[in-house]
Each structure stands twice: as C-alpha cells, then as structure tokens.
Structure 1
Amino acid sequence: MAISRHRLLFLLLLLLLRAFSSLPAQAAARGASDPSGTGENFGSVLRNLLQDDPRITDELTHGYMSNSELEIAVRAVGSRCPNISRIYSIGKSVNGFSLLVIEISDKPGEKEAEPAFKFIGNVHGDEPVGREVLINLANWLCDNYLKDPLATLIVENMHLHILPTMNPDGFALRRRGNANNVDLNRDFPDQFFPINDEIDYRQPETRAIMNWVKQEHFTASASLHGGALVANYPWDGSRDQSKQYYGCPDDKTFRYMASVYSKSHYNMSLSKEFKGGITNGAFWYPIYGGMQDWNYIHGGCFELTLEISDIKWPKAAELPVIWEHNRMSMLNLAASLVKTGVHGRIFAADTGHPIPGSLTIKGIGSEIRASRTYGDYHRMLAPGENYEVIASMEGFRTKATRILLEEEAVSLDFILDPGEASGEVKMLRNDCGCLCGDDRLFHMHGAHLELYLFVFLIIIALYVLFKRRTSKFTIHRHSPRRPIAV
C-alpha cells in the first residue's frame, strides 16, 4: 500500500527522535553514579560520591576559606615568595571569580627546557578539600625551598602550577556543579561519545582549562576530589559503556604513577575496596566528558584523578590530618617528572637549532611533541623496562634508539638529518601538537558514527520531501568505516 508523503514525514521524524534518544544518557562525573548500573565491590564508596549533599550547613563550612579568603591566601604566597612564585589567572568562572594559579619554579614565568606539572582542586563545588590542601602545598614549598631536598628538587627542576579551585561558584553554592549547575568533570570533549562538541556550549571554567593546556606544555597533572580514597587513571570510559578494565596505550605508566601516589600516602595503598589503592576509571565505573582523558588525548598530559578524602566535605578540624596524609604523595608524584622517564631535546643537524619534533615509543600508540622554544620533550614511562624511543619531524629523517629505563631518568637528545620524513602515516594533530586532530573530527570516529550517518540521511530525506513532489524515493545506506580502536 502506498504511504502518503505526510505519513512518511511523520514516520521519519519518529525515527529521528528515536535515534537521538539512543545516545548515552549523561553519565555522572567522577564521584557520581555508576551508569552501568552495577556498583558491586564499591557500593559504600559510590554512596559517598553519589550526589550533592543537602546537609552542608554553616557549621560544616566553618573553618574553610571562602572564595575571597582563598584569593587572599593565593596572593599571599606570591608576596611572601616572589623569587620562586608567580600568580596569574587563566580565566573567570560563570559568576566572575578569577581562576588564579600559583606557579612555583626558580624561574617563574620563564620558558625553560623543563617539565611542567599542574594540580587542580575543587573541580566539584562540594568537594573542597583540594583547595585547602593545595594552598598548604604552595606554602610548604615556599617555606622549605633550599631547606628540604624534595622541595629544592621540585623548585629547581620543573614548573609546578597550582589551581586551588576550578569551581569557586559551586563551592559558594555548596553543590557539585558550577553556577549553571553543570558538572565540570562531564563537560570536556569525549573520545567515545560526542559530548559538547561545540566549544561555545562549554562552561567558561572548562574553556579556561582547555586554553590553559594549549598554552602550557604540561607533562603530567592531577585533579583532587573527595568521597573516596583512591588514585584513578585512564581510561575513564569504555567504548560500549560497560563497566570493565579499559586501559589506555600508556596503561603501565599510569599504573606506575597512581602507585607512586598511593604508596606514598598514609593509608591509601591499604584500601580494601581498591587493590593497592589504585583503579582504572572504566573498571570503577565509566564516565564520559571527563577532564582526565581529555588531558591525555588532546594535551599529551598524563593526568590522574585523585580521591583524597573518604568524606566529600569533612569538618575543617580534619584538614591538617588530610594534608599530612597527602603531602608526601603530592610531592613524590610531582617529583616523578624529573626522577624517572626519558627527557631530552630534538635538534636539526643542518642548523643546530631545536625543533618541535614528535616522540613515540615503539609498541605504545601515543606520542608527545617537543616544545617549540627549546625542542625539549619529557616522556613519562614506567621504570624497569626496555623501550625503543623514536624521534621524527616532517622534512627530517626519523631516528630511533633503545634505552633501559631503570629507577632513574634517562637523558636522550636527538639530532635529525634533513631529508624525506618516514613513510609512516602521520596522525592528525590539534594546536597542542597532540594526537587525534580537532575535537569534532575526533568525535566522529566514536562508536556512534553509524548513528550520525543515519540521522544525516534522515535530514536529507526530509529536505527532499519538502522540495520535491514525488511520492517515492530511495535512501541508500552505506556501511561506514569501522572506528579505529584506541
């Protein structure tokens, strides 16, 4: 029986609505619900993380710095230790609060051939412990430079950037989300599902972090959360949304970094919920749009998500103990940038000038880019392994060498000869010189490419129905190429 044009239009609209309804529902951010519906083995932990706590009273907030007091504390670090610190802003929150960063280095604000690390606190407004702990960290480094060997190592061999609060508005409102009630750890571009593809729809705090990562050449980083006691590492989600161990290309290195934090902690490694006090994010419970995975994919930055307090908003009297339990963990994690891994510079043989070449490790499907200023690279790697290190640059011949990475870092410079670059297929890069191209292209390689092709064909069909008077037409569906597994 022939179908009328209006009835066919109605059916196509129903199919379109059904297609969009099949997109993954907003998974909770790290420290929220388990979208897989399973919380076995971690039920008590998930309950602590599940939602905003409506019982955050004035009494509970007493003893925590307000946003204005936090700004005073940040600027006080800069005034007290101007020789090893710099205060700068990466943007503003929805309500206009400045997102202030403390940079600690023997040459703050200057470009050097040194690795950079960042700590971010208060991603969720109702998890304020990170703000207090990070101010303590900055003051401890200020007080102990040239007195403590670890403090001196960090100050003189790297650039440490500390953002005490990413979500000052959420803190003031005593809730997880920002002033627009958006979970900021759910607001980044995601590798598996197209979440917030358009940068104009992202929150100002999210955009500030993304621009910051593009401007700075971070080697590694960590964000501080509350509601559990564990060091979490990528991937945070899985391709099919199932709760499973889903390791990234640098899984071994991330497990090493997470263990550095956990084993340095007072009791994190003794966890009964998480073996060794560490966990793969997707195995714990999958999330999408998280900051951790985005840093690794688009910034070449090895980021951990650190849950540093069993209680999301503990009483202020507990803060000194939490600081002491986490102090060595934070120091050792930051110091691991210079204590291990492979570091060096890439030069052009004909000019002797540094070049921003790429560095890859054979057998690991990720790469990093050397800096444009000094051609320096800093690659996190798990010690105790042999690695083949490969340096390449368009217009130069690729070079490779093998190293044995033991407990100490390896220094390795490359001098590349001009000539044809290797015939290997080059990955697309974004402005950071990182893998996977721009956000939109990256997302179109996700698991729902078929769905978007289908929706696109429906839109074409609707257009034809309106523009043509013919009553029949055929849509040819082509089998899209399978996405490349990461």
Structure 2
Amino acid sequence: MWGGWGCVRVLRGGYGGWGPHSSSRVKEVGAKDPKSHVGRKPGFPGGASGLQNSSLLLNSWGPEGRERCWSCPPIGMESHRIEDNQIRASSMLRHGLGAQRGRLNIQAGATEDDYYDGAWCAEDDAQTQWIEVDTRRTTKFTGVITQGRDSSIHDDFVTSFFVGFSNDSQTWTMYTNGYEEMTFHGNVDKDTPVLSELPEPVVARFIRVYPLTWNGSLCMRLEVLGCPMSPVHSYYTQNEVVTTDNLDFRHHSYKDMRQLMKVVNEECPTITRTYSLGKSSRGLKIYAMEISDNPGDHELGEPEFRYTAGIHGNEVLGRELLLLLMQYLCREYRDGNPRVRSLVQDTRIHLVPSLNPDGYEVAAQMGSEFGNWAMGLWTEEGFDIYEDFPDLNSVLWGAEERKWVPYRVPNNNLPIPERYLSPDATVSTEVRAIIAWMEKNPFVLGANLNGGERLVSYPYDMVSEAQETPDHAIFRWLAISYASAHLTMTEPYRGGCQAQDYTSGMGIVNGAKWNPRSGTINDFSYLHTNCLELSIYLGCDKFPHESELPREWENNKEALLTFMEQVHRGIKGVVTDEQGIPIANATISVSGINHGVKTGTLSACGYGQADPCGSGEATPGRALIPRVPTGGSTLGTGRARSL
C-alpha cells in the first residue's frame, strides 16, 4: 500500500490501515517560511546545497493535525526489509563495523570484534562522518531512533547529530530550526533506543544522520520512521505483500488477547474451546485455544498438534500470528474452506499465544522499537523458559556410554529426575505448568514461535558428538516444510539477521550447530514425550510495528497451515493384546531408528509418529515397525495409514 500516507490509524476489530492526515499543507522547501525546518549550512560535510535547487517537500501540520496524526512506522532497518545495499556510510572502521551493521538492535557476534560486530563505526572520529539510508521511493520521514554499539567491552554511542535529506544522494539539504541546523539529542547509554522526532515531516528519498558528539568511538545503530508516498522504483524488485484477510491486525494486551479468544469461541462454539495451562508467577493465566470438531475430547486416531508462542515475552510476532490463526481457522471453517475443514475435523489443534505473559507485560510497556534486545525476555522470577526444562540429554548420553540403553534406561519417554520434581527445585512456575500440559495431552507434533532470526531450528539443541537425533531425517523434513512455504525464509540474498546465514539459504539449521543450549523445550519434548517439536524464528525484529502484521501474516500463513498438515504423515494405530484389548504404555519402535514412541494411557491407547517415510506392522506389546515393510502397508509421502 502506498500513496498519501499520513499516520498510523488502526481499525479495531478489522484491518489496520493508514488514514489521511488533516489540517495539513505541502510546501516546496524553497519557499520562504520562518517555520521551515529544512535549510542548509554552507560548506557542511555531505554537500548540502541551497534551497532553490531542492525538490524536497515539507509538510506543515496544523495543531489538530499534529495531535491526531504524528509519526510514521519504521521503514525496516531492524526487520531487514531495508537491504544491506540500501545503507551507506562515509567510512567504516572495518567490514564487521560497516554500514550494514548500523541496524537498530543488531547484535554483535559470539566473539567480540569478529566479522559481525554490533554497530556501524566510522574509520575516525572526525565530524565529517555520516550514515545514509536509501528508501528507493519518495518517503515522508518523521523521525529517527538511535542506539549505541552492542558490546560487552566498548561503551560507544552518539550523543547528538544533524539530519539531512536528498532525492539523489548528491545534493543534500539539512534539517533546521528555521535559523540553523537543528541539533538532535541522541543516546545516554549504548543499549536504550532514543526517538528523535522531526518537528515537521520531510518528504524525500534519502536520509542521512551526521554524528556531532559521541561517547567512546563514533558508533551507532538506528531505525528510521517514514511513510511511503510512492511505489518502489521500477528498477528494484521488491514485492509489496497485501493481505485480503479481514482479521484483527494489531498488538493485543493481555486483556485484549483474552477478549479476542472469547470472541472467536463465541463465533465458532462447536469447534473451539478456551482453557488454561496454569498461571504465571504473577498469577496471569496461560491461555490456550483448542480447535477441533469435538473440542475437549481426545479421539482415537486423531493426532494432537500444538503451536506455542511468547516463550520470551519480548518476541511478540508469534503471539499475534496465533491470534490471527485462531480467527482465520474459525472463519474459514465457517465459510466452508475445504482445506481448513479437513484440518479441523481430522486434527486436535492447540494454540497457546503467550507462554510468558509476565514478560510480555514488561516488553509492552516500552512497545515496538523502544525496548532493548532483552527487555521482557525472562519471566518475573528471572527464568528463560526456553532452556529451563530438565536436561534429559545428559541422562540419555551418559546411559549410552555405560551401555545401559535400552535395558536400564529407555531411549524414549525418559522420566524426569526426582531432584527436578522437588517443590524446592529452582524451576519456573511457567515451566511446571507447561510440563504438566505436555504430559496430559498426547501431542505428536508441535512448534514454538520465536523472534530475532528468520529460520527453523530442530533438535538436538544441546551439543553432543553427533548433534543429531535418531529422527534427524524427519526433523529436517518438518523444518523444510515450514521454511519452504514461508515467503521469505529461503531467500539466500537476505542473509542472517545478526550474523552469517547459518542455514546456507535453506532456512533450517540444527540447534546445536547454531546456538547450543541445554535443557531446551525441544530436546525435553523429544526425550520425555512422543512429540517432535521445532523452534520457528519468524523474523529479525522481535517486536515489529503494528503496521507490519498484515505483511507478516501473509509471509507465514501458508507455512503455518502446511506445518500443521505434516501431523498426518506417518503411521498411526492401536496396539492390542490377543483378545483385542488396547495396551497402554506399549513401546513402538522403527527399524533403523534408535528412538521409540509409547502408546497413550487414555482409553484409546493409540500412537502416532509424524514420519513421512515410515511403514510396517504393529504387534501386541513391544512392537517393531520395520522401515522396510515385510507384508505390512506401505506409506509414502501421503497421509498417515492406520495399522
């Protein structure tokens, strides 16, 4: 969408769009006006020219217009919608501190001063340095957000700066207070983002920031606020993603989230049920929505699937995508969409938009762009939920070294160590609730939605010599099913959000090779339950602006549906004794895979495995399901067969 954008105007209950501004007039910059905020300073570095040669436009807003329609959204420095080749600088200290690293909230590499560092830094400390962004279109600029260098060693940040504008990157016009260049006050520390709004918006294509004073070395990160006034120039290939779904595209507070789930349940009472996993440490309920043709009932042969989000409270895109998914499934089912009807009728779907509601409340206080990288990540008690689960990897690998598997220690459904179950154990309130939920429901497949990168990560997350699970091929298949259906995740030219592209353009990566951690939700789910779980990282910006939600919905919608459908690939069935009575806790093994699954303890006593290439026969008790069939039913890449 483009053309004549004024300010963000979110329509409650429907599509969030952009409304026209009022009480405004557009003036050519060259016109004499004592209120004009665009001028020049002869000889100022960067080639500022006289106003008479400038084609820049200035919006002069009336008092009512200023109050009602103020700032534009981020143009996409943090989200990487602005590409590396759209950012230039006067110089760089080295490539790892080049202009492409001058993005808001970008993180330094694992090793300080490596190829990927945490800011743009100029070659020297002269007041002739600048960093520039090309929006590739006519844009109404309304502000700049600045931040210092991400570093555990250096304390570098810009404390004041000038701003200039251009339409050709050659002739520059400086922003003034009517008499001289306006000095904008920058940062007082290296982490906290600071917004500098332009008293009057400026229409141009390029924007430059000229640092004036700084602490330490001349380094900075930034985001630019701007509304597009024209389409992208034709010689650049950038697709504009527009959604046609009439959904509630806005950020939802805890109260708003609860209300939206209530509305969806009222709209589709026959296929939805809202329930709670438990409470957070501050007493907020962790809400879930079940979507199924018989909500509340586990049905024989119907696999259970889960999406969770908000493990880190400041990674909010997953929260909003799951709220959008609830609305979409409800409305499409009601409208007779055959794909959605089949999915809902054959699957028991669980959606949990906020596993860490306390953390979200902290992040939401600052809002999009203004919280730092970690604000709201942890629970109220200071736990990182993602890696607060029992470390069953060490238990299994230690038993394997002693040759205890599978005789003394099983290779699947490992019990939780007693020390972890103690009431005095140092475990978060939220994780205790999540584990109880996992054990109560026989999930087969799931994914947790995160932010800060754009990729799909699969187990193991903990480093071992192999770094691969026995179900490595299945996990890669599942990861590819999401990444390949996502609109941008497999575009190799985008690179990684923080450092190099660990996925080599495929959009998937083994967790241990990328970001090794112990006690993660994925490893625990795989070793303690029958559920194969992956982590989906939705984008570079942890807390995207509300205006980005329609675009991100379209980026992820097909992938969200495709991944859910993978739960129907593989094998499923019921293990019985010779009298036809179902056997609970029977172990099902697949030839060639040193990891089994167990039948449930529910009356159905069924089992499921999301294996796209498994096949074979089930026998009573401890059953062997050979990968190469010996008279059993053969399964290819279609839907699951019952055995």
SS at match of 1:337: helix
* Secondary structure in structure 2 of the residue aligned to 1:314: coil
CA shift for structure 1 position 119: 0.6
- Aligned with 2:381 (options 180, 184, 196): 180
**Counterpart in 1 of 2:544?**
314
For 1:237-316, list aligned pairs within 5 A.
Answer: 237-239=462-464, 246-271=467-492, 272=495, 273=501, 274-275=503-504, 276-316=506-546
Secondary structure, aligned partner of 1:229? strand
Q: Matches of 1:56 and 1:353 in 2, distance apart? A: 67
Contact 2:150–2:191 (CA under 8 A) maintained in structure 1: no
1:305-454 aligned within 5 A: 305-338=535-568, 340-350=569-579, 352-356=580-584, 357-372=586-601, 373-383=603-613, 387=615, 391=619, 393=621, 401-402=629-630, 404-413=634-643
The aligned residue for residue 324 of structure 2 is 136
**Contact map agreement 1:232 1:281 (CA 8 A) in 2:** yes
Kept in 2, the 8 Å contact 1:392–1:399? The answer is: no
**Distance in 1 (alpha carbons) for counterparts of 2:527 and 2:115:** 30
The aligned amino acid for 1:125 is G
- Separation (CA, whole Å) in 2 of partners of 1:39 and 1:376: 54
**How far has the Cα of 1:390 moved from its partner?**
5.5
Mapped contact 2:108–2:150 kept (Cα < 8 A): no
Counting aligned pairs with the same residue, the percent is 28
Instruction: Label 1:63 to 1:105 Cα distance change in 2 as closer, same or farther (>3 A).
Output: closer
Alpha-carbon displacement from aligned partner over 1:286-321 (angstroms, at most 9, x marks no partner): 011211111111012100100012211111110111
Q: What SS does the corresponding residue of 1:201 show, helix, strand or coil?
A: coil
Deviation at 1:177, TM superposition (A): 0.3
Q: Does the residue aligned with 1:408 lie in a helix, a strand or coil?
A: coil
Q: How far apart are 1:43 and its partner, in Å?
A: 7.1
Matched, 1:227 2:448: no
Amino acid in the other structure paired with 1:189: P
Deviation for aligned residue 1:55: 3.8
How far is the alpha carbon of 1:77 from its aligned partner?
A: 1.6
Taking structure 1 as reference, are residues 231 and 49 closer, same or farther at Cα in structure 2, changes over 3 Å only? farther
Q: CA deviation at 1:198?
A: 2.3
Matching of residue 76 in structure 1 with residue 263 in structure 2: yes
* Bigger-Rg structure (1/2): 2
Cα distance in 1 for residues equivalent to 2:296 and 2:469: 33
Count matched residues. 370
Gaps of 5+ in 1: 1-30, 414-486
Q: Distance in 2 between matches of 1:50 and 1:210?
A: 36
Q: Do structure 1's residue 100 and structure 2's residue 287 form an aligned pair?
A: yes
Q: Tell me the CA shift for residue 239 of structure 1.
A: 3.0
Instruction: Tell whether the 8 Å contact from 2:574 to 2:582 is kept in structure 1 after alignment.
Output: yes
1:217 is the counterpart of 2:442: yes
For the structure 1 residues 50 and 329, does the alpha-carbon distance in structure 2 shift closer, same or farther, using more than 3 Å as the test? farther
Which residue does 1:151 correspond to in 2? 340
The equivalent of 1:198 in structure 2 is 420
CA gap of 1:391–1:75, structure 2 versus 1, over 3 A, is farther
One-letter amino acid of the structure 2 residue matched with residue 238 of structure 1: V
What CA distance in whole angstroms lies between the structure 1 residues aligned with 2:547 and 2:191?
19
**1:44 deviation in Å?**
8.2
Q: Post-superposition shift, 1:360?
A: 1.0
Quote the Cα distance in structure 2 between the aligned partners of 1:116 and 1:173.
Answer: 32
Distance 1:116 1:49, change over 3 A: farther
Contact 1:186/1:289 (CA < 8 Å) preserved in 2? yes
CA contact (8 A) 1:362 1:388 kept: no
Q: 1:49 to 1:131 in 2, by over 3 A?
A: farther
Distance 2:331 2:113 in 1: 43
1:212-267, Cα deviation, whole Å (9 max, x unpaired): 00000000110000111101100011137xxxx71111000000000000111101
CA gap 1:44/1:333 in 2 versus in 1, 3 angstroms: farther
Q: 1:39 to 1:267 in 2, by over 3 A?
A: farther
| Gap runs ≥5 in structure 2 | 1-104, 120-147, 153-189, 198-222, 224-248, 364-375, 396-415, 496-500
Q: Structure 1 CA distance, aligned partners of 2:467 and 2:270?
A: 44
C-alpha change, 1:108 and 1:39, in structure 2 (3 Å) is farther
Q: 1:49 Cα deviation (Å)?
A: 11
Cα drift, residue 34 of structure 1: 10
Asked if 1:67 corresponds to 2:254, the answer is yes
Runs of 4+ with deviation above 4 angstroms: 31-45, 47-54, 192-197, 386-392, 397-403
**Distance of aligned partners of 1:82 and 1:287 in 2 relative to their CA distance in 1, 3 Å threshold:** same
Matches of 1:375 and 1:40 in 2, distance apart?
A: 54
Q: Is it true that 1:90 corresponds to 2:281 in the alignment?
A: no
CA RMSD of aligned residues (A): 3.4
> Partner of 2:163 in structure 1?
none
The separation in 1 between residues aligned to 2:570 and 2:116, in whole angstroms, is: 33
Query: What are the superposed Cα offsets for residues 4-61 of structure 1, whole Å, 9 maximum, x if unpaired?
Result: xxxxxxxxxxxxxxxxxxxxxxxxxxx999997599898789x99999974499x99x
Please tell me the residue identity of whatever aligns with 1:303. E
Q: Name the amino acid aligned to 1:205.
A: E
